[in-house]
Structure 1
Amino acid sequence: MPSRSRPRSRSYRRRRGGGSPRRVLLAAAAVVLLASAVGGYLYLQREDADLGICPSQPGPLTFALGARANMPSPELPAALSSLVSSAAEAEQPLVVYRVDGDPSPAVQERFSTTTKAAGPLAEEIKTFTADVLAAMGEIRSVQAEADPLKALRLAARATPAGGTVVLFDSGLQTTAPLDFRGEGMLEADPTEVVASLVAKQAIPELAGRRVILMGLGDVAAPQDQLDPAMRNTVLEIWRAIARAGGAPCVDTLTDPPHANTALTGVRPVSLVKIPKPPLPPVGCGEQRLSNGGDVGFLPGTAELRDPPAARRFLKSYADRFRAVTGEPYIELLGTTARWNTKEEQQRTGKDRAEVVKKILIEYGVPAASITTEGVGSYSKYYRPDKGPEGPLDPAPAAFNRSIIARIVCP
């Protein structure tokens, strides 16, 4: 008979049989070894292959699992269990940390056996894997809010070099030092996020450990859905954190669309406010064109990040402007984070405003009806972002990068 060491845990309960949606959710983690075999349902995206070769075996295996509010409970194929099975075959330890406001270990297991015959051994591993996944499926948050960064740090500490760390969470942290509730955080620069965390000594130590990211940006009601750009920002932030921690390779598991069914029986988590796409004003007024939105620019440049998206928005803006009666005009102010000199900030802001002006002219707005100015971080729109003395606070720094478009009616 196999023996399994099971350190005591507040939430661990062995349970056989059945197949709740939450139980099979954790089985999805195993898809990292079988991703190519599921016919487009799930796929694995390899990042940073130049930093090292991912091991073919998971080694010691640790999860940081977001069994918490505002996350969906997707029904994924329970057969995707090869990651846990591989750890069992190698008799490697398996630990699961729950992601909540104060992460803690929830499951600790290790398979061992004296069985030598291939058939009985395979059955023991199969039973062990099912039991572990069932136990993981019973995990629920016990503290309010969400701190996946701490859970990842704890998981990394519990995983020796050569092991695998899996972060399975939406990534929308609601506690310091990575609070996504801050306005601008969903458009933050990942490099600035990492610099801020480095200054606070909050980067997990991941050197020599494979990292697998799952479920990032995946949310459920009452949390509003993220648009593709926001989901990508969340994903890039966590990739950057893993890379900064020294992970030799970072894998991303992407799943198919799912029902927006929230996990129940969990502690509350604050909502992250999702910025609404700007709509061209009806009549006169001003609005902020976020650098993380349609009219956004590549870092430090006046080059549009997504020219087709910017043109679509600015065409509708020009159409609305031409419908205003009287003699209106447009003021474009380019704002920036407080970095580099005042003159450089103003020059960058001015250059970006000129790019917007040029497109508006192409869509029929008279050049004489548009004024441009680069104000950098020196205007009433500036929010303190800790620049230039230290690492920028990523949320207000992102908010500060914008074009203020104002239709003025004399």
Structure 2
Amino acid sequence: MKRRFLALGPAVVFTVLTAGCGPEPVTPHTTILIGATATANEPAVDMHDDNLDVVRDAVGRGTVDVLGFVGSATDQPVVRQDVSVYYDERTKELETDSERLDTGYQKHMTPVREKMAASAGTQSQLDLLGLLGEMAHTNGPATMLVYSSGLQTTGLLDLRGWGSDLDVDATVEGLPEDKLPDLTDKHVFFVGLGQVAGPQQQLPPEMYSAVQELWLKVCRKAHGHCEPLVQRSSGGPPLSTVPVPVIPVPSHPTVTVFGDPATGQTVRILLPNGVFFRKESADFLPGADQALRGMTQYFRSDAASVARSATAVGHTATSGPRDGAVELSKKRACRVVDALAADGIDRSLFKVDGVGFDRPLSPDLDSAGRLIPEAAEKNRTVEVTVTRFRSTR
């Protein structure tokens, strides 16, 4: 009789042998590492069946040990569980009947699910890079399921200063390889990147995609075998009560009105770069044209008031070369005016400028010259104003 076992990536060690004379069969063994940052800014861990196919498949082929980690403060797992299903516990002969195999798998995974679902981070920072490092200390090949939003707030990949300006390729290129965890022989699945809860604001689509791309590229630079992202349904509100810094994200356009139409009324509109523009570009994101179209009312003269003059000024956070920031900010301001003109607004109303970070709307450097994340995000904008007077008609 012959038993055959299929390999699961680099995480399975196996030998195929035929019955009869020769050495005893070597049972394939898989180590599964499950990790979660589990902060107050993330939904509770939900080990949904769709995320656990790799575990179920491994149990069908041989012996499986599961180790669970929460946070990056210690390399001691909070879960140690043999989830193998044996036909005979004494001889350790593996179960082959599909129904009994599934029943045994569900039974052995229940305490793992419960423990991880109840996990609550105790650290005051979200440290996914550190968690990967602790998990990578496990010797030998392994499959890793990593539950995290990926919104790192400390260390090499502190995303607070980047905000919506996150340049994935430049960030990954700048990471010193010797400071990354060694993920050689590790098959890594990220679950829930970009998914947030609690006080953390939802990420706009462009930023959401950038966070996913970032961690796949970081993982590959660390020599891991990294699968396309696995998503999760929300496990409910966060369980951790330890406050963690939030990553600033661009808000929706804001409109403020000053003065009186009789003497001159100014309408000020702030258009967040992270909502309107692609990274390092003056090209609009999907939906930007439609959002601007809804604001044309402020620039049209009507029976009640007349639009007399307008400005469009591009701003950036205090980061990168000055000349590049000025050039990009002006291109973005011009792009806004072009879009308004295409919708019938008189282009001659506008004066256009780009000031980069020379005229911040909010000071975004502290006394030590470090970027203040919340202020930096406010400065990533195109500021549009229009002055209106009461109509004399």
- TM norm structure 1: 0.67
What secondary structure does 1:289 align onto?
Answer: strand
In 1, the alpha carbon distance for the partners of 2:130 and 2:80 equals 18
**Corresponding position of 2:243:** 269
**Corresponding position of 1:48:** none
Q: What is the aligned counterpart of 1:318 among 284, 289, 296?
A: 296
What secondary structure does 1:405 align onto?
Answer: strand
In 2, the alpha carbon distance for the partners of 1:383 and 1:263 equals 30
- Preserved CA contact (<8 Å) 2:315 2:329: yes
What secondary structure does 1:105 align onto?
Answer: coil
Kindly indicate which of the two structures has a greater share of residues assigned to strand.
2
In 2, the alpha carbon distance for the partners of 1:396 and 1:233 equals 21
In 2, the alpha carbon distance for the partners of 1:339 and 1:199 equals 20
Counterparts of residues 190-269 of structure 1 (less than 5 Å): 190-195=168-173, 198=175, 202-256=179-233, 258=234, 261-264=236-239, 266-269=240-243
Q: How far apart are 1:400 and its partner, in Å?
A: 5.7
Report the residue type matching 2:9 in the other structure.
P
**Corresponding position of 2:20:** none
- Provide the identity percentage: 22
Report the residue type matching 1:296 in the other structure.
F
Give the paired residue count: 341
**Corresponding position of 1:118:** 95
Unaligned runs of 5+ in 1: 1-52, 386-391
Report the residue type matching 2:163 in the other structure.
M
Q: Against the structure 1 CA distance between its residues 152 and 191, is the aligned structure 2 distance closer, same or farther, given a 3 Å change threshold?
A: same
Unaligned runs of 5+ in 2: 1-6, 13-29, 258-264
What secondary structure does 1:252 align onto?
Answer: coil
What secondary structure does 1:373 align onto?
Answer: strand
- Preserved CA contact (<8 Å) 1:100 1:144: no
- Preserved CA contact (<8 Å) 2:10 2:185: no
- Preserved CA contact (<8 Å) 2:255 2:270: no
Q: What is the aligned counterpart of 1:358 among 323, 333, 338?
A: 338
Q: What is the aligned counterpart of 1:297 among 278, 282, 287?
A: 278
Calculate the aligned-residue CA RMSD, in Å.
Answer: 4.0
- Preserved CA contact (<8 Å) 1:153 1:204: yes
CA deviation string 1:59-86 (max 9, x = no partner): 4321221334333347665697543344
**Corresponding position of 2:37:** 66
- Preserved CA contact (<8 Å) 1:81 1:129: no
In 2, the alpha carbon distance for the partners of 1:253 and 1:64 equals 14
Counterparts of residues 11-410 of structure 1 (less than 5 Å): 55=9, 59-73=30-44, 81-88=52-59, 89-99=61-71, 105-110=77-82, 114-116=91-93, 118-119=95-96, 122=101, 127-158=107-138, 160=140, 162-180=141-159, 182=160, 185-195=163-173, 198=175, 202-256=179-233, 258=234, 261-264=236-239, 266-270=240-244, 272=246, 273-282=248-257, 284-293=266-275, 295-299=276-280, 301-306=281-286, 309-322=287-300, 325-336=305-316, 338-340=319-321, 342=323, 344-381=324-361, 383=364, 401-408=380-387
In 1, the alpha carbon distance for the partners of 2:309 and 2:180 equals 48
CA deviation string 1:285-318 (max 9, x = no partner): 544422211x21343x433233xx1211222232
Decide which moves more: 364-373 or 96-105: 96-105
Q: Against the structure 1 CA distance between its residues 298 and 137, is the aligned structure 2 distance closer, same or farther, given a 3 Å change threshold?
A: closer
Report the residue type matching 2:335 in the other structure.
V
Q: Against the structure 1 CA distance between its residues 98 and 311, is the aligned structure 2 distance closer, same or farther, given a 3 Å change threshold?
A: same
Q: How far apart are 1:360 and its partner, in Å?
A: 1.1
In 1, the alpha carbon distance for the partners of 2:76 and 2:387 equals 55
In 2, the alpha carbon distance for the partners of 1:321 and 1:118 equals 74
Q: How far apart are 1:353 and its partner, in Å?
A: 2.1
Q: Against the structure 1 CA distance between its residues 78 and 86, is the aligned structure 2 distance closer, same or farther, given a 3 Å change threshold?
A: closer
